[in-house]
Structure 1
């Protein structure tokens, strides 16, 4: 079981805050540092304001050396797929091949309104996501010296030189996820290297994984080629007092977090992660909401990570 650090900077964080977390995670042996791609806080005032996901990852690519980096997830509504393919390829090269792209259809209407980003109906958002995946992978996979032309309703591509190429070949891993019952599994089977489902129980996880495996089988893809992962809120403590302090710092109730997140002592976390592992989860994203509490990450690395190896 690989543990990854997952942050929500739109809730209020500077680049320096994120750099400190990423370097700490790297030093402690976490598999990756990921961040959300949002522009509006979901609670609180979000001060000092959002940081752009891809500018952040570009900086971290040069200020870390081993840890993998990525988004969970970039909204396809935020960026045209051609320029996004260029940005991701560049950051992948800047990191010497440590980048991963999480991509989704987008869901947070209020942040689109707050920053003047069009927010089409759900069906069109999935159409744009599907077309974006075709464009991004097409640009990356086109052999050097050849051009790419793709017909498309939203993003037609004509005689693109399909440059630059990312450092990783055939291309950086693509992560998809969510609760969709039809198009999400189908697009995952066709394009993704990893399927992630966040903040759900084992029963919901099992059903979502089964839909993705069935979608893979339907197109002749071996489901074993996909990494299955979960994301859960982290609240670990050596004792009940420390658990309560960490829950209070993020405005959550301990009992609720024990039910819906990864909360409790290190042994409790190991037991709960083990239940997800039985379903096929091999990667857990730890949603770390208090970015000033670096000792939190140290505790998990010291007391939880060794029991999962």
Structure 2
């Protein structure tokens, strides 16, 4: 899971995505931001658009899954987003996953003239209904929607993605509204960068929300995103933690961090808490050796 707004060109992302595929990881995921989210980093050479990037990678990879964690509802109208994602799914042969959220970074909206309403949860709920509704409308039929924020009339609901349905990722640490939306629309629920002790309770809220609408909670994938720094020894780990801008102590307490054996133990504990998929947030996109190390020294022990 990459954060290109911190500084990455398309060629940088292509190198990481192709290394991800070659090394046997399941997916290459990117954030969807237009401004650096760290004031200490200039973000050069500047932002790359998430779905433009994924469209390119769809043609330059063959097996790795591709998606966002997560796209903001403020960036794209839902009808256009449905077209973009369906097209990238076609271009990739059915390897796309859509993460969708409310957005949070006001300053990037101000920098690029994007409206940032104070209340955005209603936008998210309607976008989920529209995007999934457009994709699921049978060929030859039309789709209509009348909501508070969006209205669609007599839409041909085209194009269709290859996958039916496209996996939809909904995430967050909210106590009630987010679990309810995940239960209704998501194929995966993601907890982003939460303390370890909050993982099981966060998943339990979604399971309860599924039961409330008589959906089998096991239909969802339960995932966790963690900042990652792993090394063959303490010195190498410390160097990678510094590249993240964190101390080794902070990393061990909050991330997927340390030596290979420490990371294997942490993943085992997370599995016991119900984690089924892990997103490794990689900050240094030039450090392909770290991906190679994880693939060689961590993954075979799982």
Question: Which deviates further from its counterpart, 291-300 or 106-115?
Answer: 106-115
SS of equivalent to 2:120: helix
Answering whether residue 180 of structure 2 is matched by residue 183 of structure 1, we say: no
Question: How many pairs does the alignment contain?
Answer: 300
The correspondence of residues 148-167 of structure 1 with structure 2, limited to 5 A, is 148-167=143-162
Answering whether residue 245 of structure 2 is matched by residue 248 of structure 1, we say: no
Q: Distance in 2 between matches of 1:47 and 1:37?
A: 16
Answering whether residue 262 of structure 2 is matched by residue 268 of structure 1, we say: yes
**TM-aligned CA deviation for residue 36 of structure 1:** 0.1
**TM-aligned CA deviation for residue 201 of structure 1:** 2.2
Q: Which residue number corresponds to residue 202 of structure 1? A: 196
Q: Which residue number corresponds to residue 70 of structure 1? A: 67
Normalized against structure 2, the TM-score is what? 0.98
**TM-aligned CA deviation for residue 217 of structure 1:** 0.3
Q: Any gaps of 5 or more consecutive residues in structure 1?
A: 1-5
Q: Which residue number corresponds to residue 284 of structure 1? A: 278
Please tell me the root mean square deviation across aligned C-alpha atoms, in Å.
Answer: 0.7
Answering whether residue 221 of structure 2 is matched by residue 224 of structure 1, we say: no
Q: Is the 8 A contact 2:10 2:48 kept in 1?
A: yes
Deviations 1:27-58 (A, max 9, x none): 00000000000111111111111100000000
Q: Which residue number corresponds to residue 136 of structure 1? A: 131
**TM-aligned CA deviation for residue 110 of structure 1:** 1.1
**TM-aligned CA deviation for residue 114 of structure 1:** 1.1
Q: Distance in 2 between matches of 1:201 and 1:248?
A: 20
Normalized against structure 1, the TM-score is what? 0.96
Answering whether residue 18 of structure 2 is matched by residue 52 of structure 1, we say: no
Q: Which residue number corresponds to residue 233 of structure 1? A: 227
Answering whether residue 132 of structure 2 is matched by residue 112 of structure 1, we say: no
Q: Distance in 1 between matches of 2:244 and 2:148?
A: 43
Q: Which residue number corresponds to residue 302 of structure 1? A: 296
SS of equivalent to 2:83: helix
Q: Is the 8 A contact 1:105 1:128 kept in 2?
A: yes
Q: Which residue number corresponds to residue 86 of structure 1? A: 83
Q: Is the 8 A contact 1:202 1:275 kept in 2?
A: no
**TM-aligned CA deviation for residue 248 of structure 1:** 1.8
